[in-house]
Amino acid sequence: MLAVLGLLTTFLSFLYFTAPSIRKFFAGGVCRSNVQLPGKVVVITGANTGIGKETARELARRGARVYIACRDVLKGESAASEIRADTKNSQVLVRKLDLSDTKSIRAFAEGFLAEEKHLHILINNAGVMMCPYSKTADGFESHLGVNHLGHFLLTHLLLERLKESTPARVVNLSSVVHHAGKIHFHDLQSEKYYSRSLAYCHSKLANVLFTRELAKRLQGTGVTTYAVHPGIVSSELVRHSFLLCLLWRIFSPFIKSAWEGAQTSLHCALAEGLEPLTGKYFSDCKKAWVSPKSRDNKTAERLWNVSCELLGIQWE
C-alpha cells in the first residue's frame, strides 16, 4: 500500500511540475494573421458561448460587423454586450437562429438578406453533442439535423450574398472524431440503431464531406471553404454526457480554453493565401490528416443530393 501511495505521489508531483509544458503542448496553434476587417460582415452560428463567442470577440476586435446567430437570444445579447464593451466595437448584433427548425433558419436568412448587402465570412460553429435520441422540428435526428442539415440549408440560403462579396469564406466546425463516423444512407435518421457518441461522429463526418463537395462546386467563384477541428475544448458542448463532464473536470489542465479552441476557426477565416487549400480539413491552424472516408467523392456527392432532397431544395 505504501508503495502504491508513493508511486501515486510521485506521479501527481510529476504532473504538477510538468503541467505548464503539457498545457502549452495541448494549447495547439495560434492564428498569426494580422488581417483587419473594417467594413466586413461576419455571421457566426452559436456565438453566444464557447468557441463561437471567442471567435466573435476576435473578429469584432478586428473591426468586423459581427452577427451572433443563436437560439437563446438572451444569452446572445449578454455575450454581445460583453464583446462590445471589450472590443469597443458597437457593431456586434444578435439574431434568432434555431438550427433544429428549418422555418427559423429561413426566417434568419430572410432577415439577414434584407438587412445586409454583403457577407464576407460565414462560420458554421453551432452544434449539439451526445444528445439523447430526439428529432428536430422537421423530423431529422438531432445531430444530423443541427450539425449538418441546419448548416447545409443556412449556407445554401446565404451563398449568393457570399458570392456577391468575394473574396469570401465559409468555415465549418467539424471534429477529429469524424474518423469514427460513417454515413449510413439506409438509416440516416438512426431509427434502426442509435448511439449518442456515434451519431455525433457521423454528423462531424458529414461536415467534412459537405466542405469537400462545397469547395468543388464553388471553384472559380471566389468563395472558399474549410473544415476545422478546434481541439478538445472546455465548453458547454459536453453537457449531455456526465462521463465527459467528469473527464473534462479531471483533465481540465490539459484541455483547451474556448479562446484556444477558436484559433483554427480564426486561421481559416483570416489567413492570407489559404485559397488553394479550399475544401481541406484543418487542426491547430494547419492542414491536417483527414479520414479516407471523407475523401470519397461519391459519398460526398450522394450526401449532398440526399441533403437537398431532405430539405426540399435544389442546389446545383
3-state secondary structure of 226: strand
Q: Look at residue 14 and tell me if it is in a domain.
A: no
Please provide the average confidence, as pLDDT, over all residues in the chain.
90
How much is the pLDDT for 28?
67
Q: Average pLDDT of 75-88?
A: 98
Alpha carbon distance 213, 218 (integer Å): 9
Q: Average pLDDT of 82-89?
A: 98
How much is the pLDDT for 10?
65
Q: Look at residue 261 and tell me if it is in a domain.
A: yes
Q: What is the DSSP string of 8-50?
A: HHHHHHHHHHHHHHHHHHHH----------TT-EEEEETTTSH
Q: Strands, E, within 97-165: which ranges?
A: 121-124
How much is the pLDDT for 256?
76
Q: Look at residue 192 and tell me if it is in a domain.
A: yes
Q: Average pLDDT of 259-284?
A: 97
Domain count across the chain: 1
Q: Average pLDDT of 157-177?
A: 97
Model confidence band, residue 18 (pLDDT cutoffs 50, 70, 90): low
Q: pLDDT by residue (tens digit) across 175-205?
A: 999 999 999 999 999 999 999 999 999 999 9
Q: Look at residue 52 and tell me if it is in a domain.
A: yes
For the ranges 12-26, 170-184, 270-284, the lowest mean pLDDT is seen at: 12-26
For the ranges 85-89, 238-242, 283-287, the lowest mean pLDDT is seen at: 238-242
Q: Domain residues for 257?
A: 35-315
Q: Which residues have CB under 8 Å from 2's CB, separation 6+?
A: none
Of the listed 67, 200, 226, 281, which one is catalytic?
A: 200
Alpha carbon distance 83, 104 (integer Å): 25
Question: Are 154 and 145 in contact, with CB atoms under 8 Å apart?
Answer: no
pLDDT over 90 (residue 8) = no
Q: Look at residue 177 and tell me if it is in a domain.
A: yes
Q: Average pLDDT of 63-90?
A: 98
How much is the pLDDT for 244?
52
How much is the pLDDT for 238?
46
Apex 152 CA angle, 149 and 154, nearest 5: 110
How much is the pLDDT for 41?
98
Q: pLDDT by residue (tens digit) across 33-71?
A: 999 999 999 999 999 999 999 999 999 999 999 999 999
For residue 200, indicate whether it is catalytic. Answer: yes
Assign residue 150 the CATH number of its domain: 3.40.50.720
C-alpha cell at 315: 442546389
C-alpha cell at 93: 448584433
Q: pLDDT by residue (tens digit) across 117-132?
A: 999 999 999 999 989 9
Q: Average pLDDT of 248-273?
A: 83
Q: Average pLDDT of 286-315?
A: 97
Q: Look at residue 208 and tell me if it is in a domain.
A: yes
Q: Look at residue 15 and tell me if it is in a domain.
A: no
Q: Look at residue 25 and tell me if it is in a domain.
A: no
Model confidence band, residue 11 (pLDDT cutoffs 50, 70, 90): low
Q: Average pLDDT of 288-314?
A: 97
pLDDT over 90 (residue 246) = no
